[in-house]
Amino acid sequence: MAGPREPAERCSCRNTDCVERPLRRLFEGLASGVAACPWPFVLVPLLLSAGLGAGFFFLPQRQANDIEGQFTPTWGPAKAERDFVRRHFPHNDSERFSAPRLPTEGAYASLIVVGTNGTSVLDAAAWAEVLRLNDTVHDSKYERLCARRGGSCASPNPLLSRWGDAAPPAPGSLRFPVNGSAFLGAALGGVETEDGWVQRARALKLMYYLREDGPEAEDSRQWLESFLQDIPSKLAALRLGSIQVSYFTSLSRQQEFEGNTKSVIPLFSVTYFLTITFAVISCLRLSCIRNNVWLACCGVLSSGLAVLSSFGLMLFCGVPFVVTVANAPFLILGK
């Protein structure tokens, strides 16, 4: 049976190394083992990091750059209220589409038409080009995927549904902002009125909604992607002289976010290099005794292996990868 501890080994206010002493012995034993047989301590971490780093093979499938998913609470009250609206105010994009009933922005392509040189979009020349632009967007695939109301595609603008291919509305023939049962406040911009009657309008908005309540949702997304790719060439082919056109879709914000992410990530390699260089040089000393360059290199290598192993393990486990975690190496190197 072991005898009582020596007074020097008991923990007290005068003796506080009772924790330090066993830790020191433990690390002395570890150092002796590393010095006696170093190769397992060198090769095993490298092989383990290489194996776990293979999880980056799943990176394209694990990327999650959805704006709503990243910047809104998972169980936020706004999402619960949106689900409540969806349950009690369902919408039917295939037969009875109504934009005000949408609980979200919907799937749409938006065109803003502005008259050149300060002219009105309700002039005859500008109106004719608006009709040509509308016919260009109304291709056969859009006719199949468009949100419908009354058996036909929902009109992108109340004026088009009423006047169509006819001459544009004459000055003073439209009330603003409400003309009969049509609300023109969101359809016309830069409006000049006289006693509530529209005299001229600088801009006109066209909203092309697509179905997203059935199996056509994925086809609608593909149409919007092709729309963003093809619309510049189509506008150039139209050779519009009386109007200028700006375009935006429900995917534009997400694509801009992903585009910024892809443009920033290549710059991370430069910042990583600068951070590693600073971490190594900061440990450089003129004295051979105080010089810790090799220690700094080992610390940087250890941090890199830790990042590779941890990220790879999370990808193996199916954890989504968001671009904000790319800042983790800076935090680890800063430690």
Residue 106 CB neighbour total at 10 angstroms: 20
Q: Do 278 and 325 share a domain, yes or no?
A: yes
Does some domain include residue 145? Answer: yes
Does some domain include residue 171? Answer: yes
Q: Do 229 and 113 share a domain, yes or no?
A: yes
Q: Do 196 and 240 share a domain, yes or no?
A: yes
Q: Do 125 and 214 share a domain, yes or no?
A: yes
Sign of the C-alpha dihedral computed for residues 293, 298, 304 and 306 taken in this order? negative
Q: Does residue 332 contact residue 275 with C-beta atoms inside 8 Å?
A: no
User: Among 234, 249, 264, where does a domain finish?
Assistant: 249
Does some domain include residue 333? Answer: yes
Name the residue type at position 229: Q
pLDDT per residue as tens, the chain (335 positions): 445 555 555 666 666 677 788 888 888 888 888 888 888 888 988 999 999 989 888 888 888 777 777 778 878 888 888 888 888 888 888 888 888 888 888 889 999 999 988 889 989 899 999 999 998 998 888 888 888 888 888 888 888 877 766 778 888 888 888 888 888 888 898 899 988 899 999 999 999 999 887 777 888 889 999 999 999 999 999 898 889 999 999 888 888 877 776 777 677 778 778 888 888 888 888 777 778 888 888 888 888 888 889 889 988 998 888 877 776 776 666 55
Structure tokens at 150: 């009354």
Q: Do 111 and 231 share a domain, yes or no?
A: yes
Q: Do 277 and 263 share a domain, yes or no?
A: yes
Does some domain include residue 80? Answer: no
Q: Do 189 and 155 share a domain, yes or no?
A: yes
Does some domain include residue 126? Answer: yes
Q: Does residue 321 contact residue 64 with C-beta atoms inside 8 Å?
A: yes
Q: Do 179 and 282 share a domain, yes or no?
A: no
Does some domain include residue 22? Answer: no
Q: Does residue 56 contact residue 311 with C-beta atoms inside 8 Å?
A: yes
Does some domain include residue 125? Answer: yes
Count how many domains the chain has. Answer: 2
Name the strand (E) or helix (H) holding 200: strand 197-210
Q: How far is CA 99 from the centre of its chain?
A: 24
Please state the pTM of the whole predicted model: 0.71
| Cis preceding-peptide flag for 177 (omega within 30 of 0) | yes
Q: Do 128 and 245 share a domain, yes or no?
A: yes
Does some domain include residue 206? Answer: yes
Rounded to whole angstroms, the Cα distance separating 80 from 64 reads: 22
Q: How far is CA 204 from CA 59, 132, 189, 228, in A?
A: 43, 14, 6, 20
Q: Do 294 and 321 share a domain, yes or no?
A: yes
User: Among 212, 233, 249, where does a domain finish?
Assistant: 249
Q: Do 234 and 305 share a domain, yes or no?
A: no
Q: Do 308 and 209 share a domain, yes or no?
A: no
Q: How far is CA 202 from CA 114, 178, 192, 198, 249, in A?
A: 6, 18, 9, 11, 22
User: Among 203, 230, 249, where does a domain finish?
Assistant: 249
Range of the domain at 256: 48-72+252-335
Rounded to whole angstroms, the Cα distance separating 21 from 248 reads: 68
